[in-house]
Amino acid sequence: MIRLLVADDHPAFRRGLELMLTGIADIEIVGEAETGERAVELTASCTPDVILMDLRMPGLDGIEATRRLTRSGSAAAVVVLTMFEDDDSVFAAMRAGARGYLLKGSEQDEIVRAIRAAAAGEAIFGPEVAQRVIAHFTSGSGSTAAAFPSLTDREREVLEMVAAGKGNATIAHELMISLKTVRNHVSNIFTKLQVSERSQAIVKAREAGLGNA
């Protein structure tokens, strides 16, 4: 029997998954969480084999919840189930330790197959996401462009300098642009990386290989 925890902040969606999986002989829902914090707590008490994890939840999001579970040594396999299919979300989830990534709207057999695969220690991705993963590696997994495709060349350059620990004034001086322009670039980077603080941007950038030289 595969023990499943569902983490999603929408009660109707959780109910829909419950109805979808009722009758699947080898899957048992042992808990439901509406936040990332609750998912981490229930993982400790319910000991699920697999967690279906949404990315956007109030408070602690799904990526950070996955990262905390991975760092804690949890044996539960996280399968992301979300409506977001942008590259940043996909690869952030993978770096956090997710073993699968599906889009909401996936058919029942696809979700069941992903749960079983994750429980067996495999990694599985929906068709749309698999195409992005393939494109990412064929374009060069070590390139910044592949890691953050939404950034402009200048924003990527600024992020590299931020990741190296340089302040806005230093960046402005080295790039020979105004301090206000640097601030605008940094603000755009925060928005595209979906972070609110400089330290969070640095973590994401360094995970992608920037600023480590």
Q: Is the pLDDT of residue 141 over 50?
A: no
Quick one: three-class SS letters along the chain?
A: CEEEEEECCCHHHHHHHHHHHCCCCCEEEEEEECCHHHHHHHHHHHCCCEEEECCCCCCCCHHHHHHHHHHHCCCCEEEEEECCCCHHHHHHHHHHCCCEEEECCCCHHHHHHHHHHHHCCCCEECHHHHHHHHHHHHCCCCCHHHHCCCCCHHHHHHHHHHHCCCCHHHHHHHHCCCHHHHHHHHHHHHHHHCCCCHHHHHHHHHHCCCCCC
Domain coordinates of the chain in residue numbers? 2-138, 144-207
2-138 CATH, one of 3.40.30.10, 3.40.50.720, 3.40.50.2300, 1.10.10.10: 3.40.50.2300
Q: What distance lies between CA 47 and its chain's CA centroid?
A: 22
Quick one: three-class SS letters along 86-100?
A: CHHHHHHHHHHCCCE
Query: What pLDDT digit, counting tens, does each position of 106-117 carry?
Result: 899 999 999 999
The mean-pLDDT minimum among 71-75, 112-116, 130-134, 143-147 falls in: 143-147
Tokens of 81: 């189930």
Nearest-angstrom CA–CA distance, 108 and 137: 29
Query: What pLDDT digit, counting tens, does each position of 169-200 carry?
Result: 999 999 999 999 999 999 999 998 888 888 88
Average pLDDT of the segment spanning 115-122:
92
144-207 CATH, one of 3.50.50.60, 1.10.10.10, 3.40.50.300, 3.40.50.261: 1.10.10.10
Q: What is the pLDDT of residue 86?
A: 75
Query: What pLDDT digit, counting tens, does each position of 26-74 carry?
Result: 999 999 999 999 999 999 999 999 999 999 998 899 999 999 999 999 9
Alpha carbon distances (Å) from 182 to 169, 172, 187, 200: 8, 6, 9, 18
Query: What pLDDT digit, counting tens, does each position of 84-99 carry?
Result: 877 778 888 888 889 8
Q: What is the pLDDT of residue 152?
A: 83
Q: Is the pLDDT of residue 145 over 60?
A: no
Nearest-angstrom CA–CA distance, 120 and 147: 28
Alpha carbon distances (Å) from 31 to 14, 98, 111, 115, 163: 10, 19, 17, 15, 39
